[in-house]
Every structure is written in C-alpha cells, then in structure tokens.
Amino acid sequence: MSENNEISKNLNDRTTWEGCSVLLDINDGDRLVFARLSNAAKLKIGNKNYSLQPLIGCAFGSIFQAESGPQGPFLSHSLPSIQGNDKTEEVKEGQVNDEPRDNRALIDNNTAQSLTGDDIEAMRREGARGNEIIEALIANSATFETKTSFSQEKYRLKKQKKYAPKVLIRRPVARSICEAYFKKYPTKIGFLRVDTLSLLLSLANVSSSSDVLVVDMVGGLITGAVAERLGGTGFVCNSYLGKSPHSMDIVRIFNFSDDICKRILRSPISDLLSQKELPEQVLEHADVCNLESQSNEQICASVSIEKISLSSENGISDLGAKNTENTNVPGKRVCKAAKAGEKSPPEVIDSWKENGFSSLIIAAPESDTWTLVKDLLPLLSNSAPFAIYHQYLQPLATCMHNLQIGNMAIGLQITEPWLREYQVLPSRTHPCMQMSAFGGYILSGTKICDS
C-alpha cells in the first residue's frame, strides 16, 4: 500500500522518474522521440547511442547536450546562456547602427573553412566539447565576420545542431502528444490537429465529473485527452462496434495514475444498447467493423514494430518497442505503465443506461458517421452536447441533414478550425513559411428529448 502511495506521489511531481514516459525534443523540434526512462534505455542521435539514465530525476523542461568523453557518448545537463544572448543583442545593435553588412559578396565554394574533418575528429579524441568545436569552426571561417548578424546566428545554430545537439525533456500531455504525432504520423491520429482537438473537447463540454462516451479510432488520443481533462473524476467509456476494441496505444504515453486509469473503461455498443433499443444496424455492421478494427490493430502493431527501427529517420520511437529492449534488465520497479481500458462493470453500464452520458465525442474516420450517431445519440441524457470529428466534410454534412430531418438535435453547426503559426524573432516576426492549411471538420450540437 505504501509503495502504491509513493508511486502516486511521484506521478504528481514535476520531475521524471524511472519508468515514466517522456517526449524528447531534439534540436528544437527537428526530431521528436517518445521514450520510457530506465537505466538501460538509449537514444540514438546520428550514429551514436546515448544513455537516458541521466534524465531520471530531472525536471520536465530540462535541456541536455550530447557530448563525447573517454567512456563514450553521454548526455550532460545544460543551462541556457543568458550572457551569450546579451552579447548577441549588443553586436546586432552595433552592426545596425555603425556598420551595415550584407551577404552579396559571399561565394559558397567550400573554401571559407580552413578546419578539416580530420582536425575536428582530433579535437573530439582530445576531449573537446561541442561548444569548443563550434567556436573553433567560427574562428577558422574566413567569411563569418563579413556575414550579417542574422546569417551568423543561422550559421551558429546549424553547427550547434550537428556538433552539439540538444535534447529537451517535454511532459507528454495531450497537446505535445498530438503535435508530435501530427508532425510525423498524422494518419494514425486521423490528421487531428492540436487546435481541432482542443475545440473538440470544448464543444463536447468535457468537464470534471462528466461521463463521456467516446468512439476513438485515432489510436487512443481522444480517450487520453478526455481522461486528462477529467483528472480522475467521472468516467470515459471507449465504445466500439463488434467484439474487438480499437487500439489505445497512445493512452499509455500520458503517465496516468492508477486512479485515472480506473476511470477509463471499454464497452461494446451492443452492451450499451441492450434492453433499450438494439438497432439492427449494430448486428449488420458488427462483422464489417470487426474486420476493420482487426485490420486497424494489425496496422498499429506493424507501425509499433517499425517505429523503433525507423526512429533515426522518422523521429518517433514506440513505447512498446522501448520496453522490449529493457525486459532483460533486472531490478525494474515502475517500468510498466498502468493499464487502462478495462471492461465496464455491469453496475456502471446500468447507471449509464439510467442516467445517460453527459457528452459524446466521435472520431472514427473509417466508419460511417451517421450509423454511429443514430445508434449512440439515444444513450445521451437530454440537452447533452456532442461533437463529431471527420477529416472530410461530406460525411458530417449527411449526418447533419439526417439529424435535422429527424428533429434529434438543435444547435447543429459544422466548424472548420483554422490555425496560423507565427515565427516570433527580433525583426523577423512573420507567419511560418510551412504550416498546416487544413484541420478537418467538427459537427457539434445538443441532443433534445424524443417527442
């Protein structure tokens, strides 16, 4: 009992612990890697493997720098240099006021750098740190002093990413997980963007002590985001057609405590509709959806196996693959994530049937939207909100039309989220050159009492 209390206490801390999941941000978003911290876990950067043991016990938001020493590569804790930023600003002001520069006379012929690759390797063998190599490259560059301040900053950043890569420890929450998957594996989450996810939760009025009915076919991202917002109160019912539930791999990344995991339940739609109205559509589409869910799980399993081998190229490593590497190491206490998604007890299902769910969220790009809404909407309590996400407009338009004809809901509207990301830098604040122009569509409304 005391051990469980200690684990629950650690889960609320702002520092990492052995067995927790983290999102490693390498070089300001160039690579995003999910990892489970342990003494045997390793991170591959370039052609070198770095142990993640120094990251255990550090605060989320800490920055580490990849270094090489006599005993091999390692990650050292790094602090942001405030003095260096002040000097850079002073140089910029002096350059702008006294000596304006431009890059018109620069010719890229690979002769400006006098330091060769052999010289750099010799410095590494002598124990030179990454910052020392960068300063040596700058000192031996014939064109560095003639560049503008912006070009100098870009040159320094480029060399820092190559010779002194930095690793930022990010807490895996709904926003960071959604951003990471949307950047590298958008198909697994149905191209669900982070602003669309937040709007989906708001339109469904997910709040404390709510009982939320979820149809999650995007890897468990919706289920985890709802459970995170509930904070251990209420219930999240992940429903599915057929006998095979959909994959919830992403839920394991959230570092949920046992109390929150107990609030995440699974139940087939047939159990929720029993002794009420059991539409024939559920039986008709059960076999089809069963095959779909099995194919989805096979795809997720293949992605999980391939992720660890492609982590150096694509940037995201799967937690399940990480665990397989560490199973042969004895003495692990908290390396296994809490299990979420147990089958709903009969008494809880009876309570849902009697009182109804407080809201409904559907994110099922591979299923017929109207069929799901027609079956699940009677399970909601009166005046309960619902929100449905789909990558395309037509399925939601058809569903909205049928709801209007059947007088099943009011306040129906289809929303298209819009997001613009800005680069905020001195004298260079402007919209980013590359950003997502499409975030899917959301159909929202409020269920009304049957006449």
CATH number (domain holding residue 391): 3.40.50.150
Instruction: Say what the pLDDT of residue 315 is.
Output: 41
Same domain, 39 and 155: yes
Same domain, 97 and 214: no
Residues 6+ apart with CB under 8 A from 67: 73, 74, 75, 76, 129, 130, 164
Q: pLDDT (tens digit, 9 = 90+) per residue, 253-274?
A: 999 999 999 999 999 999 999 8
Domain boundary among 139, 171, 203: 171
CA dihedral 375, 376, 378, 379 (to 10 degrees): 140
Most confident of 98-107, 195-204, 289-298: 195-204
Same domain, 373 and 265: yes
Q: Identify the CATH number of the domain in which residue 47 sits.
A: 3.10.330.20
Instruction: Say what the pLDDT of residue 99 is.
Output: 53
Residue 268's domain comprises 184-447
Cβ atoms 245, 219 nearer than 8 A: no
Of the pLDDT bands very low, low, confident and very high (cuts 50, 70, 90), residue 318 is very low
The residue-averaged pLDDT of 381-386 equals 95
Same domain, 156 and 206: no
Q: Could you tell me the two tokens for 244?
A: 């095979």
Of the pLDDT bands very low, low, confident and very high (cuts 50, 70, 90), residue 87 is very low
Q: pLDDT (tens digit, 9 = 90+) per residue, 11-34?
A: 447 899 999 999 999 998 899 999
Instruction: Say what the pLDDT of residue 1 is.
Output: 46
Same domain, 93 and 224: no
d(CA 239, CA 226): 14
The residue-averaged pLDDT of 40-62 equals 92
SS (H, E, C) 400-424: HHHHHHCCCEEEEEEECCCCCCEEC
Whether residue 324 has pLDDT greater than 80: no
Question: At 211, which helix (H) or strand (E)?
Answer: strand 211-216
Question: Is there a domain that residue 3 lies in?
Answer: yes
Instruction: Say what the pLDDT of residue 305 is.
Output: 32
Question: Is there a domain that residue 176 lies in?
Answer: no
Same domain, 164 and 238: no
Question: Is there a domain that residue 331 lies in?
Answer: yes
Whether residue 96 has pLDDT greater than 60: no
Instruction: Say what the pLDDT of residue 80 is.
Output: 66
Instruction: Say what the pLDDT of residue 361 is.
Output: 98
**Average pLDDT over the chain, rounded to an integer:** 81
The residue-averaged pLDDT of 274-278 equals 57
Same domain, 31 and 166: yes
Whether residue 94 has pLDDT greater than 50: no
Question: Is there a domain that residue 402 lies in?
Answer: yes
Same domain, 162 and 237: no
Question: Is there a domain that residue 29 lies in?
Answer: yes
Whether residue 419 has pLDDT greater than 50: yes
Q: pLDDT (tens digit, 9 = 90+) per residue, 157-173?
A: 999 888 889 999 999 99
Domain boundary among 128, 149, 171: 171
Question: Is there a domain that residue 177 lies in?
Answer: no
Whether residue 304 has pLDDT greater than 90: no
Same domain, 348 and 252: yes
d(CA 252, CA 322): 13
What is the DSSP-derived secondary structure letter of residue 375? H
Q: Could you tell me the two tokens for 358?
A: 């407080």
Same domain, 147 and 289: no
Question: Is there a domain that residue 279 lies in?
Answer: yes
Of 53-62, 107-116, 350-359, which range is least confident? Answer: 107-116
Q: How many CB atoms lie within 10 A of CB 332?
A: 15
The residue-averaged pLDDT of 147-154 equals 86
The single-letter code of the amino acid at 324 is T
Instruction: Say what the pLDDT of residue 190 is.
Output: 93
**pLDDT top residue among 62 and 91:** 62
pLDDT over 70 percentage in the chain = 78
Phi, psi of 32 (to 5 degrees): -125, 120
Q: pLDDT (tens digit, 9 = 90+) per residue, 344-375?
A: 999 999 999 999 999 999 999 999 999 999 99
Same domain, 188 and 161: no
Question: Is there a domain that residue 68 lies in?
Answer: yes
Number of domains in the chain: 2
Most confident of 76-80, 103-107, 241-245: 241-245
Of the pLDDT bands very low, low, confident and very high (cuts 50, 70, 90), residue 114 is confident
Q: In what order do the strands lie in the sheet with 72-78?
A: 31-36, 21-26, 166-170, 63-69, 72-78
Of the pLDDT bands very low, low, confident and very high (cuts 50, 70, 90), residue 329 is very low
The residue-averaged pLDDT of 91-117 equals 67
Domain boundary among 130, 146, 171: 171
The single-letter code of the amino acid at 268 is P
Cβ atoms 34, 253 nearer than 8 A: yes
- pTM equals 0.79
Same domain, 254 and 158: no
Whether residue 293 has pLDDT greater than 50: no
